[in-house]
């Protein structure tokens, strides 16, 4: 638009000036008028574009706000404040899409304080088990119990407040280290946050940051290494003091040296708590009280590492294939 009007004025003005019809000064004036005329049109176009983008963004926001949750508490559901940590799945069937089953007749028991290792090929249903235990999805058959109560008889909010999760990709906020740790329990004191960081083996590197616990982290904690972000996440869960823990590939994205520090922090965190650990590196779960091997949505092996290795079943083959190098960790 801007270039076109200038070109037209230049063409017409040049032709008229050569014929002596108008002076060069008149042509120059028209150049100025053309630019003055085009500027508000350009600004209007920009404002209109911003308004259309805002309208589209607002529509998406209100669509999310108007979305009704799929998981709804029963009218008789009650809050639960504390549990011993006994978790049981009783003949559970589940599918994300009707007619495409993911879990088939899954039963397992985790007693208070036990470490449960969940292993199996990609797509076997390990993460799905975690999703149904925390009731992010409702099962189609069977029951899941926390202590003596079905998870469907308690409110989802109180249920999830009993569970601490450490995921493969930790997320930190654009705030101070102290605030990121305190996010787990907003009424915690600075001293409690520091003690949680010490228990998570994070205190050492935090004190070496430019402003220590007052260091402001960039978006997602990108000014920290992957291992450091994970240690802060572990400190956050230690501070929350949840009776049930879920670790989903918590050490898979770090190097061996960092993994050792993470394992020490995780061991501290899991003491006295019921823990579910999903791991592709089978060496990280061989000390589990119970290892549950899952294949195609079914529990195929249950027992300790030594028991399952002696049985020479599915877990034995999975373990041996990994340590022979026949299978990559990403495939397990």
Phi, psi dihedrals of residue 131, rounded to the nearest 5°: -65, -35
- Residues 60-81, buried b or exposed e (16+ Cβ, 10 A)? eeeeeeeeeeeeebeeebeebe
Q: Mean of the pLDDT values across residues 32-47?
A: 77
Residue 50: strand, helix, or coil: helix
Which of 253, 247, 281, 293 lies closest to 267 in space, CA to CA?
Answer: 247
Q: Which helix (H) or strand (E) holds 141?
A: strand 141-146
Q: Angle, to 10 degrees, between the axis of helix 190-199 and the axis of helix 226-240?
A: 120
pLDDT of residue 328: 44
Average pLDDT over residues 150-158: 90
- Name residue, tokens 């998981």: 71
Residue 256 clears pLDDT 90, i.e. is over it: no
> Mind listing the pLDDT tens digit for each residue in 16-25?
767 767 776 7
CB-based contacts of 239, cutoff 8 Å, min separation 6: 181, 182, 184, 185, 188, 192, 193, 196
- Given the structure tokens 């600075």, which residue do they identify? 190
Distance CA 265, CA 277 (A): 14
Residue position matching structure tokens 């949505």: 297
pLDDT range class, residue 54, cuts 50, 70, 90: very high
Measured between alpha carbons, how far is 93 from 107 in angstroms, rounded to an integer?
Answer: 10
CA–CA distance, 140 with 151 (Å, rounded to integer):
14
pLDDT at residue 189, rounded to an integer = 92
Task: Check residue 57 and give its pLDDT.
Answer: 92
Residue 52 neighbours by CB distance under 10 Å: 10
In this predicted structure, the answer to whether residue 1 has a pLDDT above a threshold of 70 is: no
pLDDT for 5 equals: 63
The span from the CA of 110 to the CA of 289, in Å, is: 9
| The predicted structure's pLDDT at residue 62 | 92
Q: Which of 139, 123, 113, 237 is nearest to 182 (CA)?
A: 237
With bands split at pLDDT 50, 70 and 90, how would you rate the model's confidence at 266? confident
Tell me the per-residue pLDDT of 124-133, one tens digit each, with 9 for 90 and over.
Answer: 888 899 999 9
* 3-state SS class at 104: strand
DSSP single-letter state for residue 282: G
pLDDT tier at 332 (50, 70, 90 boundaries)? Answer: very low
Place of tokens 């998406």: 60
pLDDT average, residue stretch 293-308: 90
Q: For the segment 208-225, what is each residue's pLDDT rounded down to a tens digit?
A: 988 899 999 887 778 888
Q: Would you state the pLDDT for residue 290?
A: 92
As given in the structure block, the two tokens for residue 324 are 């022979």
CA 107 from chain center: how many Å? 27
User: Which pLDDT tens digit goes with each residue over 111-151?
Assistant: 998 999 998 888 888 889 999 999 999 999 999 998 888 99
């Amino acid at each position: 638009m801007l270039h076109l009007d200038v070109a037209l004025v230049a063409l017409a003005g040049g032709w008229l000036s050569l014929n002596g019809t108008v002076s060069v000064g008149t042509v120059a004036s028209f150049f100025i008028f053309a630019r003055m005329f085009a500027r508000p049109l350009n600004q209007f176009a920009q404002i209109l574009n911003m308004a259309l983008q805002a309208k589209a963004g607002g529509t998406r926001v209100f669509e999310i706000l108007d979305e009704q949750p799929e998981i709804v508490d029963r009218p008789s559901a009650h809050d639960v404040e504390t549990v011993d940590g006994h978790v049981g799945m009783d003949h559970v069937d589940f599918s994300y899409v009707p007619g495409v089953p993911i879990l088939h007749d899954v039963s397992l028991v985790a007693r208070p304080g036990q470490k449960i290792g969940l292993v199996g090929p990609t797509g076997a249903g390990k993460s799905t088990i975690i999703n149904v235990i925390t009731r992010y999805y409702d099962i189609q058959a069977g029951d899941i119990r926390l202590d003596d109560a079905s998870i469907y008889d308690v409110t989802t909010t109180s249920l999830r407040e009993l569970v601490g999760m450490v995921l493969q990709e930790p997320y930190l906020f654009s705030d101070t280290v102290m605030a990121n740790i305190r996010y787990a329990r907003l009424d915690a004191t600075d001293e409690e946050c520091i003690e949680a960081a010490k228990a998570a083996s994070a205190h050492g590197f935090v004190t070496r940051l430019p402003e220590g616990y007052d260091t402001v982290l960039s978006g997602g904690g990108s000014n920290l290494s992957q291992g450091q972000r994970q240690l802060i996440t572990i400190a956050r869960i230690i501070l929350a003091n949840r009776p049930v823990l879920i670790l989903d590939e918590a050490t898979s994205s770090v190097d061996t040296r960092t993994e050792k520090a993470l394992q020490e922090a995780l061991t501290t965190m899991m003491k006295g708590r019921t823990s579910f650990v999903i791991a592709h590196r089978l060496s990280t779960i061989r000390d589990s009280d119970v290892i549950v091997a899952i294949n195609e949505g079914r529990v195929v092996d249950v027992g300790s590492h030594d028991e399952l290795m002696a049985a020479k079943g599915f877990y034995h083959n999975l373990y041996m294939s990994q340590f022979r190098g026949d299978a990559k960790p990403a495939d397990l």
